[in-house]
Copies of this chain bind each other. A is one copy, B any other.
Amino acid sequence: MYDIDNMAPASPYGLRWPGRPHNFMLLSQWADFLSLDYTRHPFDTDRLAPTLHTNDEVVWEMQRLHVRVLTSLLAGRRHAMLMDFVTHENKGDAAITAGQVALLKRLNVTIVFSCSTYLCDDGILKNAREISKGYNSTSLIILLQGGGNLVGYSSIDFTREKILNLFPDFPTLLFSQSIWLHKGNQAHLNKCREIYSHRENLTIFLRDRQSLGLAQKHFPGTKLMLMPDMAFGLGRVPRTMPPTLDIVWLKRRDLETSWYKVPEIPTNLSVYVGDWKAWWTNKGKTPMETSFLMTFNGLSFLQRGRVVITDRLHGHILSVLLGIPHVLIDNPPYFKLSSFRRTWTAGLSNTVLVTTGEEALDQAQKLLKKYNNYLPNVVRP
């Protein structure tokens, strides 16, 4: 069995997965928690989080939870179908795919079928159904892509409904999701109640407490667990390139934004403000290769800055993987970022949560000052 608690894992993809931390206090004080069977305590998974102060500790714990819980849910199954993985330019979703694939490889699970977003149509799912006949419920698990699209983006819920109805005999896991609830989707929420409630074979990971609360309220009779975002499966990532800017400001340009204002930038600072959806990636030969290329293009996007400001959840998560000090801007009234941070990364000392653009710029300048001697210089001119 794979023993994540006692050794640094050998990474099959060359990824840098941190081993058990050299933090005696942490490990001894939390021994009881570390040995829990989390499937029996599905809402208690975040207890260690506030005491994790370094990037290595955070990534280690998120991965420990992933490996432990998935090992338990797999119960010896060694085959999986990965549905609806992502190949579009929102680098966060691609990073989730890459993290999921790394986790499965780590657990020696073979992906016997996969389809990427927009390609999981009826024809290809029928094909998957045929393939599934070579397995049974003790050898195959159906996995649905994680993300932030549960309830919030209706078409994906309908794709998932189709899949759930197509494989009723197989255990199915919806990887870590957050729920985006807004005025416009109350009617769709009722539809989601039908889709996701009373599914005995389904487990849903929720990646923050707020989303977990909504799921508990609306999806009775289905197994729910509080579980970190799947992108943590990538492990720690070294900076490969020198920064070319003081600050990269990754600013989302869609309906989930809180429409905060970017203040005037002081002339002594070099700052890039933009969304990584417009940061183009070369395509691979397969959708899976494309997904990995997008992930690492997202990591390059962020590395251009000595520090990062972001209102994107994966601006936060990838900056944690990279060890880049950063400022998070919350998005009231949805609170997607603050709920995630409160749940998993509140102990990290090199990240700050704010609510306005002015505060963000102010705090980023403080991070630049505080970490000046630890951050690589900017390439000029």
Please report A residues at the B interface, Cβ cutoff 8 Å: 11-15, 98, 101-102, 105, 111, 114, 237-245, 270, 272, 279-280, 282, 284-286, 288-289, 292-293, 295-297, 299-300, 304, 375-377, 379-381
Contact = CB atoms under 8 A, between A and B. Distances in A.
Given A12-B376, A244-B288, A296-B300, 16 more contacts: A11-B376, A13-B377, A15-B242, A98-B379, A101-B379, A102-B242, A111-B381, A241-B295, A241-B296, A242-B292, A244-B286, A244-B289, A245-B289, A286-B381, A289-B304, A300-B300
A307 B238 CA distance: 21
A101 B14 CA distance: 30
Contacts of A295: 241
A380 B240 contact: no
12 contacts: A12-B376, A13-B243, A13-B376, A15-B376, A105-B377, A241-B295, A241-B296, A245-B285, A284-B304, A288-B379, A289-B304, A300-B300
A293 B248 CA distance: 14
Q: Which among A14, A286, A292, A375 has the greatest number of chain B C-beta atoms within 10 A?
A: A14
A237 B284 CA distance: 22
A380 B288 contact: yes
Quick one: copies of this chain in the complex?
Answer: 2
Contacts of A272: 285
Contact of A240 (B111, B279, B296): B296
A143 to B, nearest CB: 14
B299 A240 contact: yes
Contacts of A102: 242
Q: Which among A13, A245, A295 has the greatest number of chain B C-beta atoms within 10 A?
A: A13
Q: Interface residues of A: mostly helix, strand, loop or mixed?
A: loop
A291 to B, nearest CB: 9
A376 B114 contact: no
Given A101-B379, A288-B381, A377-B105, A14 B279 contact: no
A245 B304 CA distance: 26
Contacts of A381: 111, 114, 286, 288
A245 B289 CA distance: 9
A350 to B, nearest CB: 16
Contacts of A240: 237-238, 240, 296, 299
Given A240-B237, A289-B244, A12 B377 contact: yes
Contacts of A376: 11-15
Contacts of A238: 238, 240
A239 B11 CA distance: 13
A243 B304 CA distance: 23
A242 B14 contact: yes
Contacts of A101: 379
A240 B15 CA distance: 7
A98 B240 CA distance: 13
A325 to B, nearest CB: 14
Nearest to A237: B240
A79 to B, nearest CB: 14
Given A296-B300, A376-B14, A377-B13, A284 B244 contact: yes
A198 B202 CA distance: 80
